[in-house]
Structure 1
Amino acid sequence: MAALPLIRVQPAEFQFAEARAGYTSQLRLTSLQSQAVGFKLKTNAPHKFLVKPVVWALTEQGMTVDVVVRSTTPITDADRFLIQTVALAPDEAACLDSAKWRTLDPARIMEDLIHCTMGHRRSSVSSVSSHSSDSQPESSPLLAITHTARSAATPAGGPRQTASEKAERRLADGLARRIYGMLPGIDVADFSWTEFALFAAACFVLGFLLPLLRSTLL
């Protein structure tokens, strides 16, 4: 028997738009259950995204919360999120945080992928268990979503990039994608100082290399 959906996700993907300080997106999560429902968001690029809230409990049916995600770098095909949801007892829902989440039985937790795009896609989905043994129909929410993310285009009439600037940006984006691919899909709330130090060191080295490569191209 397939598990009942716990929450509705609107829209079905993180649809990013350009903002003053980078790129931003927002999802609205709505509880579909009379009992408390908790959720937690993870990403394969924790150094790239700022997510609020990461962990939350919806304590009654129809209760909603807006999840806001920001990034200072362009969205790529590789960017994605994992949303975990679980039905909670009242004592589990009280003051739910990452530490308390780790004490929950993993067998109870449902998981679905949320992709990242530039622009508008599907309107909404409802979360279902990824652990169910029943086969999912083609219209199954989240699990059936496919897309091709688009890079943000330069606005019409905006400043044009020189050949060296374009080459520099392509190089930076390529190196960034390699760094993102090397990192595991860890929780944004549990990003360790060691991983932060490694990423900072990579950025420091990149900051020295780019001027040298740019002078070579010129």
Structure 2
Amino acid sequence: MPRRTPEQTERLRADLIGHARVLMRRDGASALTMQRLASEAGCAVGLIYKVFADREELMIEIAVSELGDLGHRMAAWAAESGTRTISENLDAYASILLDAETPALVHAESLPGERLTTRFAESAEASTFFDALGSAVTDYLGGEQRAGRVRREVDPAAFGFMIAGAIHNLLASGPGHPRPTRAQLSRYLSAVATTIESPPA
């Protein structure tokens, strides 16, 4: 049998990651075994081990994939300035991070820290996420300011830093820490929007 090309291997990896994410969202992280994944993907277990050394590597790659998805969603959100209300848009930003189904990221603390950190550092997908986390809200508010919907004296970078930091803190702290309900958070973000919005013409 001819050897797979690098492109074919990458497609296989992506396909298996996709099946693994479906399995984890449906049945939970504990359900992800190589045998269950093989059944989900309709392939032999041995094929999975040809592209992933072990379950930990597979979980790390799923986490990387989830980060990439979140990064692309944040970047797309930032480009939507001028649509809906600012309050609605800030709430939508919070939903991207807080309501996304990211089972591998939820369980990332159970993965080998050094191995995870090294993979994140070299991953374009993770880079997309961290870049968007640092700039998406600032870019969005800058767009709204150019459109005349945010007051000229507002500093988009300062508000972007505070909003993104607050949401990321909720994401990183997890459900066991004191946190507002989603309704309370929406009210807080609406208050921020009212503070920075240009007055009605």
Question: Normalising to structure 2: TM-score of the pair?
Answer: 0.35
More strand by percentage:
1
Question: Normalising to structure 1: TM-score of the pair?
Answer: 0.33
More helix by percentage:
2
